[in-house]
Structures are given as structure tokens and as C-alpha cells.
Amino acid sequence: MDLLAVALAGVHFALPLAYYSYAKAKWLPRPWNVKIDENYKPKVVVIVPTYNEGLTIRDKLNNLYEQNYPRELFEIIVVDSASEDGTAEKVREWGKEHPDVNLKLLEEPVRRGMNPALNFALKHISKDVEIIIFTDADSYWPPDALRSVVKYFADPIVAAVTTNIVLASREGLRRKEEMGENVYRSYYNNLRVSESKLHSTPVHNGALVAFRFRFIRKINGIPEFTGNNDSTPASIIAFMGYRAIQISDVTTVELLARNNFLRKVRRAQHLLLSFLKTKRYAKKLGIYVKSPFDTIWRIEWWLHVINPWLLVASLSFLIFNLVFYGSVTALVLIGAGLIPLMLKAYRAWIMQQVYLIIAAVRNLWTREIMWSK
């Protein structure tokens, strides 16, 4: 039984490592194989959903204001769902101070969740808009983000673009655990970009996720079955055979949440739902075509849905052996799994497994479509 435990843990760690090494060696160095054009300047609408973002919304708007993109081609829509902390007033105020910005505030009378709010906002966008971008209020872009993202859309095969991401507290990147997070992030960023070079990545991030508007209309708006506005629509688009990519020439910053644990669990819940339901959804829409994205999807599906449980099984066997048979081998093996927790990257990996496991269980009774803030 100890042997079985070692085998399960071995598979748990070896598969993602092998996949990462392979993707990084074989796919990451490839060219994009898409036409990138710096002069391509379509109409863009940036949509910021807000619920009680009074503390961040002004910084967010100031940050968008600094984008190097022609103002007349760039509109901001803030869609607020009955915030109780004066978010809407702050947006109106900011708008008055910046009459040179094309800013629209949409207010929902009651809160129904982020995706319903986004779908409501989509109804207010004219069809001649080429690209829409969702961005969470607690995320920040470098000044060239928009330009860099948009240039990939010059190729009609590209239908979704997201960016690299790092996490930071308001005080910056000083604290140690954040650096640990960011080591882990670079693993993810590399992997997502590698997948994107081959075809597309199934995991996009809400700090900046851009879509060719036509495609969002084609899939009838943002689906509401997962609660996320990034990975799910991007994956549906990839299943259409179009590219849904993460680019590495832009890195956005996301603020660490006060309650990071619950947030991670909720996001893992949404991501799991995405892996469980999106492919079927794409097939039902009748838009699914076979592509190299299928391979990526299968592997990531395994890594999110199955792989965490190998670790649970392994640990359960060892604990069982230790408790019922007093196995010294089991004790040593558990120790061997715990010691590397001193390494940030390992710790971050284990935490991600914990999030996924809690998420899977939690999905049985709540999908967290409307989360507390």
C-alpha cells in the first residue's frame, strides 16, 4: 500500500511537470503564426463590472485613462450592480473631471452577479465595435496594454486575448509570500503562453480578457453556468477553432484580496465548472470543431479535475497505514512530502491542489455565482 501511495503521488507530480517541460521546450519558442499589426486600430470598449468598488474604482479609471490608445476609438463602460458604497457616484464624479473620456455608467437596480451585469452591458454596445475587454476593478494595466493586445486581433483567426498576470498588495511586491505567488505565477504564465502558441489556452484571467465582439454575440453572450467571464467564453471560442491566447508582452497586476483563501476557492470552483461543462456547451451550440486545442483541453481537464485527487488518495493511504499498522515507511513518506513545503513554489502548488479539492466538494452545493465582497 505504501508503494501504491508513492505511485499515486509520483503520477500527481510527474504529469504536470512533464507537461510543463514539454510545452515550454516545444511550444513556447514557436512563432505565433498569426498576423500581428501595430497599426490595426479598431473600436474598443472596455467594460468594468463593479460591486462595492468604492475603494478601487477611481484608481482603476485613472489607470485606464493612461492607456496609449486613440481616445476616440476607446470607450469605457462601468456596469454597477446596486453598490452600497457609493461606487456609482464616484464614477459619475470621475467622469465630470475627465470630459475627454468616452465613459458610460450603467446601473442595475439589483445585484444579480457579475455575468448577468456584463450581459446587460453588452446590450448597450453597438455592433460596429470590434473588440470588447473585460477587466476587474482591482486590476491594473501597463500603459501599452491595449495597444499590445489589440495588435493580435489584426488576424481574423484571433478571437480572444488575455495577458500575463502578477499579484501585488497595495504596498507593492515587498512581502515574501507574494513573491512565492509570483514564482508560481510565472510557471502558469509560461504554461498558458506555451499552450497559446500551439493553439489556445483554456485559462484566461479577468484582469484583462479581450474578445472579438462578434464571437461573444455568436455564443449568445457570456454563459452564466460557471460564474467566470474569462476562461469559459475564451474556451468556447477555442472550441470554435479560433485562437484564444495569452500573450506575454503585457503583464497586468491584480490586487491581492483581503480574503484570498475564499477567493481562490471560488475561482477554482468556477474553473472546475468550466472544465466540466464548457465542451458540452460548445457542442450544443453547434460551433465545435476539432483542433489541437482538444489535446490541451484534455490535459488541463485531467490536471484540474482528476490530478488533485491522486494526492488525496496517496496521503489517505499513507495516513491509514500509519494509523492502523504503525508503518514507519508511511511516516517517512509523509515527512518527505511535507519537508519541501519550505519551498515557496511547492507550497503554492500544494495550496492550488487544496483549492481545487475544496472547490470540487463545494460545487456540490453552491456555485458561488454571487460572492460576498
Rule CB under 6 A: which residues touch ligand GDP?
A: 49-51, 53, 79-81, 111, 113-114, 117, 136-138, 206, 257, 263, 267, 370, 373
CB of 184 to Mn ion, least distance (A): 18
CB of 122 to ligand GDP, least distance (A): 12
Q: Choose the contact partner of 178 out of ligand GDP, Mn ion, none; CB within 5 to 8 A by kind.
A: none
Q: Which helix (H) or strand (E) holds 46?
A: strand 44-50
Q: Which is nearer to ligand GDP, 130 or 136 (CB)?
A: 136
Chain centroid to CA 202: 9
Q: Which is nearer to Mn ion, 2 or 138 (CB)?
A: 138
The verdict on 178 binding Mn ion (CB under 5 A) reads no
Phi, psi angle pair for 124, to nearest 5°: -100, 15
The strand order across the sheet containing 44-50 reads 102-108, 74-81, 44-50, 131-134, 209-212, 158-168, 243-255, 139-140
- CA 193 to each of CA 154, 176, 189: distance values in angstroms, whole numbers, following the listed order: 19, 26, 6
Q: Choose the contact partner of 308 out of ligand GDP, Mn ion, none; CB within 5 to 8 A by kind.
A: none
Q: Choose the contact partner of 195 out of Mn ion, ligand GDP, none; CB within 5 to 8 A by kind.
A: none
Say how far apart CA 9 and CA 11 lie, in whole Å: 5
CB of 138 to Mn ion, least distance (A): 4
Say how far apart CA 305 and CA 365 lie, in whole Å: 17
Q: Which is nearer to ligand GDP, 117 or 310 (CB)?
A: 117
CB of 55 to ligand GDP, least distance (A): 11
Round to the nearest angstrom and report the end-to-end CA distance of the chain: 45
In terms of Cβ atoms closer than 10 Å to its own Cβ (0-12, 13-18, 19+), residue 60 is buried
CB of 136 to ligand GDP, least distance (A): 4
| DSSP H helix total and E strand total for the chain | 13, 8
Shortest CA distance to 243 belongs to which of 39, 46, 34, 37? 34
Q: Choose the contact partner of 50 out of Mn ion, ligand GDP, none; CB within 5 to 8 A by kind.
A: ligand GDP
**Binding residues for Mn ion, how many (CB under 5 A)?**
2
CB of 50 to Mn ion, least distance (A): 11
Mark residues 124-153: x for contact with Mn ion by CB under 5 A, - for none.
------------x-x---------------
Shortest CA distance to 157 belongs to which of 122, 184, 196, 205? 196
Q: Which is nearer to Mn ion, 50 or 194 (CB)?
A: 50
Q: Choose the contact partner of 287 out of ligand GDP, Mn ion, none; CB within 5 to 8 A by kind.
A: none
Q: Which is nearer to ligand GDP, 81 or 235 (CB)?
A: 81
Q: Which is nearer to Mn ion, 138 or 195 (CB)?
A: 138
Provide the binding-site residues for Mn ion, judged by CB under 5 A. Answer: 136, 138
